[in-house]
Amino acid sequence: MLSQLFKFHGGVKPASHKDLSNQAPIVTAPLPSRLIVPLHQSIGGTPRPVVAVGDRVLKGQLIGEADGWLSAAIHAPTSGTVVEIAMHTRPHPSGLSSQCVVIEPDGRDEWIAHGPADYAAMTPADICSYLQRYGIVGLGGAGFPTHGKLTANPKVAMAELIINAAECEPYITCDDRLMRERAEEIVRGTAIFRDMLKPQKVIIGVEDNKPEAIAALCAAVTALAEPFTVVPVPALYPAGGAKQLIRVLTGKEVPGAMRSTADMGVQVFNVGTAYAAWRAIGHGEPLISRVVTLTGNVRQAHNVEALIGTPMDELLRLASPNPDTDGIIMGGPMMGFLVPDETAPIVKTSNCLIAHSARLFPPKAPEMPCIRCGACARACPHELQPFELYWHSRAKDFGKTQQYHIFDCIECGCCSFVCPSRIPLVQYFRFAKSEIWAREREKKASEEAKQRFEFKQFREEREKADKAEKLAKAAAAQAAKKAAEAAAAAGGTVAAEAPAAAGDDPAAAAKKAAIAAAMARAKAQREAVQAKNTDELTPQQAHEMAAIEARRAAAGVSEAPAASTDSRTE
Amino acid sequence: MFAPAPFLLKDASVSQVMTQVCLALIPGIAVYAWLVGPAILVQLAIASFTALLAEAAILRLRDKPLALFLSDGSAVVTAWLIALTFPPLAPWWLVATGTLFAIVVAKHLYGGLGQNPFNPAMVAFAVCIVAFPALMSQWPSIGLKLPLLDQLNIIFGLAPRVDALSGATPLDAMKTALKLGEGQVNVAHLLENQDIYGNFAGRGWEWVTGAYLLGGLWLWQRKLITWHAPLAFLAAMVLISGGLWLYRPESFASPLFHLLSGGAMLGAFFIITDPVSGCTTPRGKLIFGFGAGLLAYIVRVFGGYPDGVAFAVLLMNLSAPLIDRLTQPRIFGMKEGRP
């Protein structure tokens, strides 16, 4: 296990509070009264429901079919009846709703026919589609469909496959318990990823505050005779951020704005994802449950294996929350959020529920002015200057925030953690990012509208020209005919028509001119009021923004917060 | 209920920062008091009182929460730095005027805590030394430590300001002697034969500056300041004074003399490390400290004022925003100049 470790800049050491919940083994949560299974649980397209209200479903049965390449299927977590397909609150800070399949369990927990895949006979493409059909997504936080990361970049040799088992956030112990109890299956899952990506090295990085997990993994690696290295990394938040872990284990620095680490020959998967991939391949079980830490202001903190779709309040009750509990944090205390609706279900990426109370997390002291002490810059793992970003975000000078690399911020919260002036820095950065996105969208929309309008104008012009040409031809024909008729000394009905047609023209031309003038005025006005904040971008910034837009477009715009946390945990 | 992440916060506050800066000044103050008597404590009290009063009044005018900002401790730090840089037997109104100017004009007219482009204590020093050069140059002769009552009488103007009580600072005395001696006077000779010089620099004062150094090292160890600015400041001073000293030792005092004289240590650890008016990037701090050290030496040796730290700091304060802009560190993943 002699491998050189590297350091990342900054980081903080909050009290870990992991011993609250890492002592007891994982227990299987009892069946909840009903399961609210959101169809959209990962980055990418929203799966299409393939069941109808009233259908009886079996445990593991497909209920939502992957929509497009970047999407993963959704399955029934237990057997029962579909009672509703409707909008329900998502476990998301926005409190917005999304389409969910609501299942009333029948209590029999009856599996659909399933069994191990014929792994040896499968091609890489088969495995990708298999994992997609079995709903495997990153369990570390962002929920990126796993098959989307299993295709190596043909131009860059895959040097390292990293299994992220750092689990650096305080309170969370689900990965810790999973490693202690199911290390062998994790190693088997890792072997699948290894077979797919063919890296030169496979490293499992675990924070050194989990000696039992490290020992269990080492034993499993030895037992299965896999050439994987289990590397203890110093416990320093956010060592579990994908880019920080890559830095610590390989010395490589993946730029914050670079989305795919595969371009640098590294790929990172969460340890829970490796486990889920093995359950799918080795047992034919789709991703319908996960280990969730229940902790915080509770009497019996522990980890449970919970079905996806279990309402959070119902799940947290298993840990006996104290009476003064006044909210639920989903995720860790550094990057998690208070759920706006406690009846919202847990999803594939819900790793931890923390009972919140004013005693455990006292209200923050009032915000003071920034004294530029630089504590935030010393703590920032991406080596940004958070106080500069703060000044410019506050002043809504968003061009400047981009100059100071706001899109490299991973929102880990180290800056807010250390700030003596108690400034909620991350909030300011989220605000600035969403404002920039909104303005970019607006600008794009107005450009598209302009193009549409100009095309319409062009089409109208063309139609008019065509019409005029036709009329002219008709008139010429008429005139010829008339001349011929006159020559034949015939009737005047046709002659009466021709002047009438010609008489239309001057009126239409005047109208056309008026419309064209109004359009020109509107165009000039629109150009005058267009947002200017992104006008003076360097080519580099324009390039970065284009990349961000492309990613957002790929991820679906509403998934912005999840996308931004993605780089840290997956 | 809305509370954004992170939910866990480190135990830190502005008042904790300021309290620790005050604590770090205590060794220096103790040696100072032992050297010149309780006058310095009286001046500290006058300055603190004026600062808090001025702060309260202007916070009221600006409609800001009084308790929150009065308890942040920033006004007291400014007050202490003023008291420690003014002559200990200066009349009470001189310290009060300086403090008033620092809090009202240098701090609050620019927007209050965190907004002042200039170090308020140095603004106070500069204003007073320009406006009242004689009073600002009267330092007590060492060895004539007066009892408290006499000192109080002098400070509050109840006794005449006897000229004999007031000498020049060791730095000033050296400069004047060298100038008057017109090449006939030798630095080594001065140091040996004049009563005001001790082992390395001004007698007694060298221990005060030594105590500031101790306090400063403690601040560094507590991670309230980084090493960049102080080290660059001291290095600049050593380089320029050392160069000239090697070139003509009879006309220029040694680096050690300069490091232990006047406001060098106080400046290096407590003044140029002021985050609000100083640089914030590591390279910026190095440039800021180095520039301040050079300028301080030039003003104190070739200029007309007894010490140069205040003017040096103010000049560097002016350039801090530009230095910061030009020294932005490369961020994670962009070290090799990748786009």
Does the beta-carbon distance from B332 to A258 stay under 8 Å? Answer: no
pLDDT at A439 over 80: yes
Contacts of B275 in chain A (CB under 8 A): 371-374
Query: Does the reported pTM lie above 0.90?
Result: no
A382–B332 CB contact, under 8 Å: yes
Q: How far is B95 from chain A (nearest CA, A)?
A: 25
d(C-alpha A395, C-alpha A554), whole Å: 31
**pLDDT at residue number B271:** 96
More confident of the two residues B232 and B2:
B232
Q: Does any CB of chain B come closer than 8 Å to the CB of residue A234? A: no
- Residue B154 is predicted with a pLDDT of 84
Instruction: Give residues 186 to 215 of A whose Cβ lies within 8 Å of B.
Output: none
Interchain contact B11–A (C-beta under 8 A): no
HEC secondary structure over A81-150: EEEEEEEEECCCCCCCEEEEEEEEECCCCCECCCCCCCHHHCCHHHHHHHHHHCCCECCCCCCCEHHHHC
- Using an 8 Å CB-CB cutoff, list chain A residues near B13: 365, 368, 420-422
Measure Cα distances from A376 to A244, A379, A414, A526 in Å: 17, 5, 7, 41
Q: Torsion angle, CA of A133/A138/A143/A148, rounded to 10 degrees?
A: -60
Predicted local confidence at residue B118, as pLDDT: 97
Residues of chain B with Cβ-Cβ distance to A333 below 8 Å are 5-8
Write the CB contacts of A118 (distance below 8 Å, at least 6 apart in sequence). Answer: none
Q: What is the percent of chain B with per-residue pLDDT over 70, rounded to a whole number?
A: 91
Residues 124-183 of B with CB under 8 A from A: none
- pLDDT (tens digit, 9 = 90+) per residue, A499-524? 444 445 666 777 777 778 777 777 77
Chain B nearest-CA distance from A541, in A, is: 9
User: For residue B138, what pLDDT is reported?
Assistant: 82
Q: Please provide residue A49's backbone torsions phi and psi, each rounded to the nearest 5 degrees.
A: -65, 135
Kindly report which listed range (A214-228, A289-303, A539-553) carries the lowest average pLDDT score.
A539-553
**Phi, psi for A165 (deg, rounded to 5):** -120, 25
Q: Which residue of A has its CA nearest to B225?
A: A373
Q: How far apart are CA A320 and CA A330, in angstroms?
A: 17
Q: In what order do the strands lie in the sheet with A97-105?
A: A35-38, A97-105, A80-89, A56-57
Distance (Å, whole) CA A306 – CA A352: 11
Q: pLDDT (tens digit, 9 = 90+) per residue, B186-217?
A: 777 777 767 667 666 677 788 899 999 999 99
* Interface residue B325 vs chain A (CB under 8 A): no
Coil, strand, or helix at residue A162? strand
From chain A, pick out residues whose CB is under 8 angstroms from the CB of B115: 369
Q: Looking at chain A from residue 338 to 397, which residues have their Cβ under 8 Å from any Cβ of chain B?
A: 338, 354, 356, 361, 363-366, 368-375, 377-378, 381-385, 387-388
Residues of chain B with Cβ-Cβ distance to A257 below 8 Å are 333
Choose the mutation target among B8, B15, B226, B328 for the interface with A, i.e. most A CBs under 10 Å.
B8
The whole-number pLDDT of residue A507 equals: 65
Residue type, position B86, single letter: F
Residues of A in contact with B4 (CB under 8 A): 337, 424, 426-427
Residue B104's pLDDT band, with cuts at 50, 70 and 90, is very high
Does the structure show a pLDDT above 60 at B333?
yes
Question: What is the residue-averaged pLDDT of chain A?
Answer: 87
**Which class for A308: exposed (0-12), middle (13-18), buried (19 or more C-beta within 10 A)?**
buried
The helix-helix angle for A386-394 and A425-487 (nearest 10°) equals 50
Distance CA(B130)–CA(B111), nearest Å, equals 25
> Which residues 259-318 of chain A have a CB within 8 Å of chain B?
none
Tell which residue, B119, B123, B120, B126, has the closest CA to residue B278: B119
**A217 neighbors A230 (Cβ within 8 angstroms):** yes
Q: Is A9 on the interface with B (CB under 8 A)?
A: yes
pLDDT tens digits, one per residue of B276-302: 999 999 999 999 999 999 999 999 988
A369 contact residues in B (CB cutoff 8 A): 112-115
From chain B, the residues in CB contact with A367 under 8 A are: none
